[in-house]
Amino acid sequence: MVANSMVSRNRFDFREVQDLVVKLTKSSGVPQEDAVVFADALVWADLRGTSTHGVSRVDIYLRRIEKGLINPVADLKIQSRSPGVLVADAGTGLGQVQAVRVLERLYPVATELGVASATIKNSQHFGAASHYCELAAERDMILLVATNSEPAMPAHGSTDAFFGTNPVAASFPTGKGYSIKIDLATSVTARGNILAAAKEGREIPSGWAIDPEGHPTTDAESALQGAVLTMAGHKGYALAMLVEILSGVLSGSAVGSGIGSMYKDMNREQNVGHFFCLFDISSFMDVSLFKERIGSMIDLIKVGRKQPGTDEIFVPGERTNKKVLENKEMGIPIDTATLEELRSLCHKRGVPFTLS
Amino acid sequence: MVANSMVSRNRFDFREVQDLVVKLTKSSGVPQEDAVVFADALVWADLRGTSTHGVSRVDIYLRRIEKGLINPVADLKIQSRSPGVLVADAGTGLGQVQAVRVLERLYPVATELGVASATIKNSQHFGAASHYCELAAERDMILLVATNSEPAMPAHGSTDAFFGTNPVAASFPTGKGYSIKIDLATSVTARGNILAAAKEGREIPSGWAIDPEGHPTTDAESALQGAVLTMAGHKGYALAMLVEILSGVLSGSAVGSGIGSMYKDMNREQNVGHFFCLFDISSFMDVSLFKERIGSMIDLIKVGRKQPGTDEIFVPGERTNKKVLENKEMGIPIDTATLEELRSLCHKRGVPFTLS
């Protein structure tokens, strides 16, 4: 999910970036503590090299608030029909904020019952799904996340974009200084990578997408108007549907092509749905034993024979962890276009542009 | 997962096949009601065209019972550290039987709490994961299943088979006369398809597997000794790991290369692990509303524009349902090799061979 660094990028201290995003978000009417949660989620992604889900999206979120498509002071309504399930309505609030609020309500339920689940409707694109998983992993819990998203991929055999790139994510504490971080779009590639290519005027690899008439294309703009393909053909189709049912059908949110586009539909809400299932590890086995066992698995994988051309076998999350350490030390890279967006937002809102 | 029908196959009434499998299984010391559960699970797969997980495996299960590697009268030990979680030890009993017994214990918990989860260790290859999902769907519940399995796929960048083909599965009631059935190995193809090719002396497509030295191969026997590749490269690797952690690490079963091979390791137990998470739909929304919403999703998908060469867009489970109706009417196809195995088993055990 790391965007290619073919454009000029400067690095900035992540705390300074976070601070600026908080100020900008507050200037849109979002309360201080919600603005902090929101900025945390975006900078979390930039720290991990997932700039497609980072501060490059500040501009569009704030524009959608201006248009009345995101409610900066939304209520979170939670209905509970059963002890282990929270049915949430995000009230078109910021997805990052409402997801964290639901997760906070889910922790004590999972601690008591061992497992707890939640759906969230009337939400937005909520950034990187693995952000929420990692918050849970820090508490020795396992969070499975699924979310639907704006139409991008056709059903197997179809030309029309129906499903979003519908990611699934989970993180696992390891005792190795990092969490195993699994976060995958069910598409051949993340839509963010096509967006980035379009923004930078690059071609995309063949096999990634079809144009609006169903023909294969390497043009990023045509791909954005057409459809991204599911990973592994019918298997990705099945997984995308699994995600759509859990996060969309079951939550009461919009489903498939009913979801509004973040960038293209500036006249209607997105109505994205999210699905959480939270497991308390200690309800299955002692946490120390779990970490010992997952550590042994990692060790076994890493000492396996390597394929020619492979220097080291990595587990998901391992390299991300190195990237975080690097970016905390060196600053997070921000591309010129995003930097200009932030500068312009500051100018319009009378927020001092403090990045240096 | 439907094996190619290049070998001669005859069709038999599924009730007669079921009856024969019950008698054979009882002759191995399995109690009547467990034998029925076991035979149900195998014939369930044959009815759906998934013959790789059907009665073609009766011989190997019974051979493993003979060798003392499967306990025909195993206890099921269930520990409960939290109200919503069952931690089960299958005691090396038949996976199909123990999985159904755990599921039966899980239903009332999910009914009460809205969600319930279970792990099972010391189990075996338990057949088609979607069998358990469909049992739950018939009760208007959603069951997510993950199971590890004998080493078949390398970690991304490695040559050594570590993960099993580690499927994930879920079913959803639709009100359309069939359940959406999602059941996918995280490999490019199901290992059963390579087994079938080897049994029938066929080559496998390139891109499916590597030989024991890590070279691409189309020879089914070399592939069985080497490794099947993960679907979609690193994404399949991440999903296989997700499955391995939930079903293996978290259950206390063997992990990765520690799992015994069903066919090759006739001197040790498999110690497979399974993971269940069961959701009571009515704890999220009224079941009638859920079915209406999933029905609308299906309708929208099916009226989408078709790619050239596509006559109809199907949802997962739709064609399976047609196959079941056909196989109930016409009989389930059984290949000659399997038929001879069954005949020989009957002969050895003094069970009348009643298939005609």
Residue A144 sits in the same domain as residue A41: no
Residue B80 sits in the same domain as residue B129: yes
Collapsing DSSP to helix, strand or coil, A43 comes out as helix
Question: What is the rounded distance in angstroms from the CA atom of residue B82 to the CA atom of residue A284?
Answer: 8
| CB nearest to A257's CB, from B182, B257, B300 | B300
Question: What is the rounded distance in angstroms from the CA atom of residue A35 to the CA atom of residue B136?
Answer: 42
| CB nearest to A285's CB, from B232, B250, B294 | B250
Tokens at residue B187, please? 């490999």
Residues A43-101: pLDDT tens digits? 999 999 999 899 999 999 999 999 999 999 999 999 999 999 999 999 999 999 999 99
Question: What is the rounded distance in angstroms from the CA atom of residue A150 to the CA atom of residue A167?
Answer: 12
Residues above pLDDT 90, as percent of chain A: 88
- Mean pLDDT for B337-353 is 97
Q: Which helix (H) or strand (E) holds A123?
A: strand A115-123
| CB nearest to B114's CB, from A82, A180, A238 | A82
3-state secondary structure chain B: CCCCCCCCEEEECHHHHHHHHHHHHHCCCCCHHHHHHHHHHHHHHHHCCCHHHCHHHHHHHHHHHHCCCCCCCCCCEEEEEECCEEEEECCCCCHHHHHHHHHHHHHHHHHHHCEEEEEEEEECCCCCHHHHHHHHHCCCEEEEEEECCCCCEECCCECCEEECCCCEEEEECCCCCCCEEEEECCECCCHHHHHHHHHHCCECCCCCEECCCCCEECEHHHHHHCEECECCCHHHHHHHHHHHHHHHHCCCCCCHHHCCCCCCCCCCCCCEEEEEEEEEHHHCCCHHHHHHHHHHHHHHHHCCCECCCCCCCCCCCHHHHHHHHHHHHHCEEEEHHHHHHHHHHHHHHCCCCCCC
Supply the pLDDT for residue A207: 82
Q: For chain B, what is the domain count?
A: 2
Of B120, B93, B79, B119, the C-alpha closest to B31 is B93
Residue B178 sits in the same domain as residue B269: yes
Residue A346 sits in a domain whose CATH number is 1.10.1530.10
Of B233, B157, B147, the C-alpha closest to B188 is B233
Looking at every residue in chain B, the average pLDDT score rounds to: 95
AA letter at A321: N
Residue B149 sits in a domain whose CATH number is 3.30.1370.60
Residue B156 sits in the same domain as residue B254: yes
Supply the pLDDT for residue B1: 34
| CB nearest to A255's CB, from B279, B282, B297 | B297
Angle of helix B32-47 relative to helix B318-330, nearest 10 degrees, comes to 110
| Residue entry with tokens 């087994």 | B195
Question: What is the rounded distance in angstroms from the CA atom of residue A24 to the CA atom of residue A348?
Answer: 10
- Name the band, by pLDDT with cuts 50, 70 and 90, for residue B206: confident
Residue A43: which domain range?
A: 1-66+328-356
Helices and strands: H and E segment counts in chain A:
11, 14
Supply the pLDDT for residue A8: 66
Residue B111 sits in the same domain as residue B243: yes
Of A263, A298, A320, the C-alpha closest to A124 is A263
The answer to whether the Cβ–Cβ distance between A84 and B231 falls below 8 Å is no
Nearest residue on chain A to B291, judged by CA atoms? A249
The answer to whether the Cβ–Cβ distance between B158 and A301 falls below 8 Å is yes
Tell me whether residue A207 is in a domain: no
Question: What is the rounded distance in angstroms from the CA atom of residue B75 to the CA atom of residue A170?
Answer: 33
Supply the pLDDT for residue B41: 98
Nearest residue on chain B to A119, judged by CA atoms? B284
Collapsing DSSP to helix, strand or coil, A37 comes out as helix
Show Cβ contacts of residue A303 under 8 Å, excluding neighbours closer than 6 positions: none
Residues A287-343: pLDDT tens digits? 999 999 999 999 999 999 998 889 999 999 999 999 999 999 999 999 999 999 999
Show Cβ contacts of residue B310 under 8 Å, excluding neighbours closer than 6 positions: A157, A158
Question: Lowest mean pLDDT: which of A134-143, A226-235, B163-172, B276-285?
Answer: A226-235
CB A316 within 8 Å of CB B237: yes
Question: What is the rounded distance in angstroms from the CA atom of residue A267 to the CA atom of residue A46?
Answer: 29
Tell me whether residue A323 is in a domain: no
pLDDT at B5 over 80: no
Supply the pLDDT for residue A199: 86
Distance from CA of B74 to the nearest CA of A (A): 22
Tell me whether residue A308 is in a domain: no
The answer to whether the Cβ–Cβ distance between B172 and A236 falls below 8 Å is no
Question: What is the rounded distance in angstroms from the CA atom of residue B323 to the CA atom of residue B329?
Answer: 10
What does DSSP say about strands B168-172 and A168-172: parallel, antiparallel, or unpaired? unpaired
Tell me whether residue A297 is in a domain: yes
Residue B88 sits in the same domain as residue B172: yes
The answer to whether the Cβ–Cβ distance between A157 and B245 falls below 8 Å is no
Q: What is the pTM of this model?
A: 0.95
A137 HSE (CA, 13 A, CB side):
24
Distance from CA of A18 to the nearest CA of B (A): 30
- Name the band, by pLDDT with cuts 50, 70 and 90, for residue B8: low
3-state secondary structure A205-268: CCCCEECCCCCEECEHHHHHHCEECECCCHHHHHHHHHHHHHHHHCCCCCCHHHCCCCCCCCCC
Tell me whether residue A256 is in a domain: yes
Best mutation target among A143, A189, A259, A301 (most B Cβ atoms within 10 Å) is A301
Residue A94 sits in the same domain as residue A54: no
Distance from CA of B333 to the nearest CA of A (A): 25
Question: What is the rounded distance in angstroms from the CA atom of residue A350 to the CA atom of residue A98?
Answer: 27
Supply the pLDDT for residue B193: 84
The answer to whether the Cβ–Cβ distance between A249 and B294 falls below 8 Å is yes
pLDDT at A273 over 50: yes
Residue A278 sits in the same domain as residue A356: no
B154 HSE (CA, 13 A, CB side):
29
Residues B280-339: pLDDT tens digits? 999 999 999 999 999 999 999 999 999 888 999 999 999 999 999 999 999 999 999 999
Tell me whether residue B198 is in a domain: no
Collapsing DSSP to helix, strand or coil, A276 comes out as strand
Supply the pLDDT for residue B4: 42
Name residue A88's beta-bridge partners.
A78, A120
Q: Taking the mean position of all CA atoms in its chain, how far away is CA B195?
A: 15
Tokens at residue A19, please? 């601070």
Question: What is the rounded distance in angstroms from the CA atom of residue A167 to the CA atom of residue B137?
Answer: 24
Q: Is A221 exposed, middle or buried (0-12, 13-18, 19+ CB in 10 A)?
A: middle
The answer to whether the Cβ–Cβ distance between A82 and B116 falls below 8 Å is no
Question: What is the rounded distance in angstroms from the CA atom of residue B253 to the CA atom of residue A298?
Answer: 16
Tokens at residue A65, please? 């608030």
Q: Is B311 exposed, middle or buried (0-12, 13-18, 19+ CB in 10 A)?
A: exposed
Q: Is B32 exposed, middle or buried (0-12, 13-18, 19+ CB in 10 A)?
A: exposed
Residue B296 sits in the same domain as residue B352: no
Question: Lowest mean pLDDT: which of A58-67, A131-140, A227-236?
Answer: A227-236
Residues A194-220: pLDDT tens digits? 888 998 999 999 888 988 888 889 999
pLDDT at B6 over 70: no
Tokens at residue A60, please? 């569009």
Question: What is the rounded distance in angstroms from the CA atom of residue A296 to the CA atom of residue B35?
Answer: 37
A71 HSE (CA, 13 A, CB side):
13
| CB nearest to B157's CB, from A84, A300, A307 | A307
Residue B4 sits in the same domain as residue B119: no
Supply the pLDDT for residue B215: 85
What does DSSP say about strands B85-89 and A115-123: parallel, antiparallel, or unpaired? unpaired
Question: What is the rounded distance in angstroms from the CA atom of residue B296 to the CA atom of residue B302?
Answer: 10
Tell me whether residue A225 is in a domain: no
Residue A37 sits in the same domain as residue A94: no
Collapsing DSSP to helix, strand or coil, A302 comes out as helix
Tell me whether residue A317 is in a domain: no
| CB nearest to A83's CB, from B113, B282, B294 | B113
The answer to whether the Cβ–Cβ distance between A82 and B115 falls below 8 Å is yes
Best mutation target among A246, A275, A283 (most B Cβ atoms within 10 Å) is A283
Question: What is the rounded distance in angstroms from the CA atom of residue B313 to the CA atom of residue A129?
Answer: 30
Residues B239-273: pLDDT tens digits? 999 999 999 999 999 999 999 999 999 999 999 99
The answer to whether the Cβ–Cβ distance between A115 and B112 falls below 8 Å is no
Residue B11 sits in the same domain as residue B140: no
Residues B110-168: pLDDT tens digits? 999 999 999 999 999 999 999 999 999 999 999 999 999 999 999 999 999 999 999 99
The b/e string for A311-329 (b: 16+ C-beta within 10 A; e otherwise) is: eebbbbbbbbeebbeebee
The answer to whether the Cβ–Cβ distance between B84 and A312 falls below 8 Å is no
